Amino acid sequence: MEDCIFCKIIAGEIPSYTVYEDDVVKAFLDISQNTPGHTLVIPKKHVKDIFEYDEDLAAEVFKRIPKIARAIKASNPDIKGMNVMNNNGEVAYQSVFHSHWHLLPRYSSDDEFKINFTDHSNDYASEDYEAVRQSIAAQFKD
């Protein structure tokens, strides 16, 4: 895609700190480095977000993520864990509209990277869960 910064990185028009590349994906350091080693994994095929993946591309991209994650973890003995994230849509904080997976090494619980999951379970009755379940389940077609 002509104006896509990640497509330009794939094409070599913009430099990157590439840690892994094959015929399906490119993995490179995120320029923001939320934590040291923060890496992006992108499919070489331009897809905007998770909703544009077909099953084959999803399988091909995701099967490479554990290998890249293991290499990141092995690169630094201080890494204690990792967040693997994929943001889809502006409201979900996607800022580059070429699908990408964030691999964020975690060093400690106070390494300045935070995710806030607020428990709203007391706000929902069983009927509410059932209505949501039915709405989602109805979208699957055999």
Residue 140 pLDDT > 90, yes or no? yes
What is the per-residue pLDDT for 109?
A: 81
Distance CA 58, CA 38 (A): 21
1: Cβ–Cβ under 8 A, 6 or more apart, which residues? Answer: 7, 46, 98
Residue 80's domain spans which residues?
5-117
Question: In percent, how much of the chain has pLDDT > 90?
Answer: 90
Per the CB < 8 A criterion, the answer to whether 52 and 72 are in contact is no
* Digit-coded pLDDT (tens) for 88-137: 999 999 999 999 999 999 998 888 788 888 999 999 999 999 999 999 99
**Assigned domain for 76 exists:** yes
**Assigned domain for 99 exists:** yes
Q: How many domains does the chain have?
A: 1
State the chain's mean pLDDT as an integer.
95
Residue 1 pLDDT > 80, yes or no? no
What is the per-residue pLDDT for 88?
A: 97
What CATH number is attached to the domain comprising 32?
A: 3.30.428.10
* pLDDT, mean of residues 35-56: 98
The confidence band for 80, taking pLDDT boundaries of 50, 70 and 90, is very high
**Assigned domain for 68 exists:** yes
Residue 142 pLDDT > 80, yes or no? no
- Residue type, position 140, single letter: F
**Assigned domain for 128 exists:** no
Q: What's the DSSP call for residue 121? A: G
Lowest mean pLDDT among 11-15, 59-63, 118-122: 118-122
**Assigned domain for 24 exists:** yes
**Assigned domain for 11 exists:** yes
What is the per-residue pLDDT for 117?
A: 85
Q: Does residue 100 carry a catalytic annotation?
A: yes
- Whole-model pTM: value is 0.91
The one catalytic residue in 98, 100, 102, 120 is 100
